[in-house]
Amino acid sequence: MNRVIKSAVLYISLFLVACGGSSNTEQQPTTNSPATPVLSEITTPATSVVYQLTFTRSWQNSNFPTNFPNNSHFSPVVGLTHSQPNALFELDALASEGVINMAETGSKTALKNEISTIQNEGGSNYLIDEGGISGNATSVTMTFEASQTFSLLTLVSMVAPSPDWFVAVNSLPLFNNNTWLQNQTIQLKVYDAGSDSGRHFSSANLATTPPEKITLLTSERADSDFDLGVHFTTNAHIGFIEITLLE
Task: Specify the DSSP element, H or E, that contains 242.
Answer: strand 239-245
Q: Which is nearer to Ca ion, 164 or 225 (CB)?
A: 164
Counting residues that bind Ca ion (by CB under 5 A) gives 3
Q: Which is nearer to Ca ion, 146 or 214 (CB)?
A: 214
Task: Specify the DSSP element, H or E, that contains 112.
Answer: helix 109-120
**CA-to-CA distance for 84 and 173, rounded, in angstroms?**
10
Query: Considering only residues 169-208, where is the footprint of Ca ion by CB under 5 A?
Result: 192, 196
Residues in contact with Ca ion, shown as a per-residue x/- string from 8 to 47 under the rule CB under 5 A:
----------------------------------------
Query: Considering only residues 108-167, where is the footprint of Ca ion by CB under 5 A?
Result: 164
Smallest gap from residue 195 Cβ to Ca ion (A): 7
Task: Specify the DSSP element, H or E, that contains 128.
Answer: strand 124-130
Smallest gap from residue 221 Cβ to Ca ion (A): 17
**CA-to-CA distance for 79 and 127, rounded, in angstroms?**
6
Q: Which is nearer to Ca ion, 196 or 225 (CB)?
A: 196
Find, among 86, 169, 79, the residue nearest to 125 by Cα.
Answer: 79
Smallest gap from residue 199 Cβ to Ca ion (A): 8
Smallest gap from residue 191 Cβ to Ca ion (A): 9
Regarding 104 and contact with Ca ion (CB under 5 A), the answer is no
Q: Which is nearer to Ca ion, 159 or 174 (CB)?
A: 159
**CA-to-CA distance for 175 and 141, rounded, in angstroms?**
21
Under DSSP, the state recorded for 93 is S
Q: Which is nearer to Ca ion, 223 or 242 (CB)?
A: 223
Smallest gap from residue 222 Cβ to Ca ion (A): 16
**CA-to-CA distance for 76 and 140, rounded, in angstroms?**
10
Cβ contact 58:241 at 8 Å: no
Say how many CA atoms lie within 13 Å of 37 toward its Cβ.
5
Binding site for Ca ion (CB under 5 A): 164, 192, 196
